[in-house]
Amino acid sequence: MKDKLGRVIDYLRFSLTDRCNLRCKYCMGDKDIVFLPKDELLSVEEIGRVTRIFSDLGIKKVRITGGEPLVRRNFRDIIETINNIKTIEEINITTNGIRLSEELEFLKDKKIHSLNISLDTLKKDLFREITGGGDLDKVLFSLYRAIELKFKRIKLNVVLVRGKNDSEIMDFVNLTEKYPIDIRFIELMPIGLGKEYVPISNDEVKDIILKEKKLTPFNERIGSGPATYYKTEKGIGCVGFITPISHNFCEKCNRVRVTPEGFLKLCLHWNDGLNLKELLRAGVSDEVIKEKIQLTIDSKPDRHKMEKKDDENFDKRYMNEIGG
């Protein structure tokens, strides 16, 4: 499946829920959040059907996101359903890690190619502050257990906020010399509450690292995303950089997203897309849905415009609602 620019779309990000068991400052914070009623979420069967339709169109990789996907009660049923679709080659999961240890044994024999754990600090007090009361020990226990079970790829997603956790850059880099995990520094995006915090560019992060360590480009393909990877001289794992703001990578975008309420989003930043749930519940056939998806893909934006302050077509919701 290709869009109008010839970009091959083979990667689907599926958000299972807008709910989360943390309240990270740059995501939901302490705002009063009204979550979707459960009947507005796609059912297990609908998620399976949508995934099969997309697989027929060329999607081979599915990433499960949220909110926090592991808080959904039928999480295992959803994973089983997607895992049983033969044409889906890999399933990846992005999680905050709080409940992950409870699911690792279940996930071990599935098509899991990567576990991405969102972790912005290694300090217990700061973790509680950033996450609105989260327990760092639970996340670290999940991380170390996943390492013991030898999952194919384990990644830590680190969003740096200037003056908050940017003093821990080398602490995270040092983890790649101790464990077979990848650390990915992700630039803070001005979406939702992220606009209220000061980001730090990955060019600056790289300069900080280079003052202490040599970084060698790691050219082996890791996953389906836009990260560029390096290794330190003692590195077991890699150090990755995802730069949506400082170095736009939209020309290589290979993904689309389905939000918790079943809306096909073409880009994280824009409102454009297709209401899949409406089609599913109206009894529309798979073939018609495929045609509508392809027509929608043809209008995938050339790029995001997060550097601009406002536009009526920007998606102004919080990240948990969009399915980051």
For 134-182, write each residue's pLDDT tens digit: 999 999 999 999 999 999 999 999 999 999 999 999 999 999 999 999 9
134 within domain boundaries: yes
- Give residues with Cβ within 8 angstroms of 43, minimum separation 6: none
263 within domain boundaries: yes
What's the average model confidence in pLDDT over 131-136? 95
Task: Answer whether residue 78 shows pLDDT above 90.
Answer: yes
pLDDT of residue 311: 55
Prediction pTM value: 0.89
Confidence of residue 220 (pLDDT cuts 50, 70, 90): confident
Q: Is 94 annotated as a binding residue?
A: yes
19 within domain boundaries: yes
Q: Is 318 annotated as a binding residue?
A: no
> 122: domain range?
11-157+250-299
Q: For CA atoms 36, 39, 41, 44, give the dihedral sign.
A: positive
User: pLDDT per residue over 229-275, tens digit each?
Assistant: 999 999 999 999 998 655 555 666 788 999 999 999 988 767 789 99
The CATH number given to whatever domain includes residue 53 is 3.20.20.70
235 within domain boundaries: no
Q: Is 267 annotated as a binding residue?
A: yes
169 within domain boundaries: no
Q: Is 24 annotated as a binding residue?
A: yes
Q: Is 76 annotated as a binding residue?
A: no
What's the total number of domains in the chain?
1
Q: Is 189 annotated as a binding residue?
A: yes
Q: Which of 194, 174, 222, 200 is nearest to 25 (CA)?
A: 194
> For residues 317 and 285, which has the higher predicted lDDT (pLDDT)?
285
Q: Is 232 annotated as a binding residue?
A: no
User: pLDDT per residue over 85-120, tens digit each?
Assistant: 999 999 999 999 999 999 999 999 999 999 999 999
Strands (E), 102-233: 112-118, 154-160, 182-187, 216-217, 228-231
311 within domain boundaries: no
Strand partners, 265: 257, 273
Q: Is 67 annotated as a binding residue?
A: yes
The Cα–Cα gap between 165 and 159 comes to 9
What one-character-per-residue DSSP string does 168-186 give? GHHHHHHHTTTSS-EEEEE
Burial class of residue 217 (count of CB atoms within 10 Å of its CB; 0-12, 13-18, 19+)? exposed
> For residues 4 and 20, which has the higher predicted lDDT (pLDDT)?
20
- Residue 61: enclosing H or E segment and its boundaries? strand 61-65
Q: Is 228 annotated as a binding residue?
A: no
Q: Is 256 annotated as a binding residue?
A: yes
